[in-house]
Structure 1
Amino acid sequence: MSQQTKQDRYAEAAKEIAAVLEGESNLIARMATVSNILHHAFDHYFWTGFYLVDPEKPDELVIGPYQGTMGCLRIPFGKGVCGAAAATRETQLVEDVHAFPDHIACDARSESEIVVPVFDGGGALIAVFDVDSDEKAMFDEIDRAGIEGILKASFA
């Protein structure tokens, strides 16, 4: 897939997501929509979904809406790629998950991953958005920009 094609796909997905979410205020419905549309827009998306900050355990993520095989139910802040994104509040782009310290293998077929923190309108961390691929080095700066833009438009 050419880089321009990937950018175009993100632009198309962003328009589709914005149209579907218009007028919808429920957070879970919004997350389910984003994960579904993005998962089906890209062949390299193997697992796509959200881990929400647990209001009862604010230093822990709990599984939210997703597409793909079974996900981990809970991830502590600071553990694995998702926990690193939650702790640092920065996007984690990992070419080889097996080389990442404390990687959590929810599915052994995962090879590369991007995790983007999700903030509400007030700037509070509410979740992380996790995408895994079953091939190494499948995510790049185009994915980062596309996903970050869609999440900001959908949740901030």
Structure 2
Amino acid sequence: MNVFTVDHELCRKDGICALVCPVHIIDAEPGSYPVLDKHKAVYCLSCGQCMAFCPTLACTAPGLEREDCRPLSAQDMPTPRQADELAFSRRSVRNFKDKTIPREDLIDLLEAVRFAPTAKNTQNLRWILLESRERVVQLAELVVAWMRELPRIDPELDEAMHAGGLVRAWD
């Protein structure tokens, strides 16, 4: 199965897709259409890098649509000062507002998050979306109950994750 396709009417045969492929599995000879050998297809990360860099949107990777890998437009790029401000003002301490976020906004955020980088672009993440403070507290209580049992279930994991300290902080 060929997981990489090229629209011959759009392709400029410039080989950009091959140059930007992070696993170097796209073959592109000057003046020829790029190809992906079926034996190399198993190594495709489905990262969309080839699609994002193709100036004519001529190629597609498996499981991705062209609109999923749109190139970043110059006018949407943050200025160096804005990027600096975002990086330096980021905090991991979470103080949440007691305000419901519209479901449509949550879905949009989750849709955007799926393009965040992960190791080898595997995207092997799971999200738990809780839409009320009560459900968050309920989940936290379940996790703490599990951590209370951890010394008996898996002492090594208990020690490695400092579960006892987390339980004491919760209490």
Compare CA radii of gyration and give the structure with the larger one: 2
Which structure has more strand as a fraction of its residues?
Answer: 1
State whether TM-score is above 0.5.
no
Taking structure 1 as the reference length, what is the TM-score of the superposition? 0.26
Q: Which protein has greater RCO, CA pairs closer than 8 Å, 6+ apart? A: 1
Which structure has more helix as a fraction of its residues?
Answer: 2
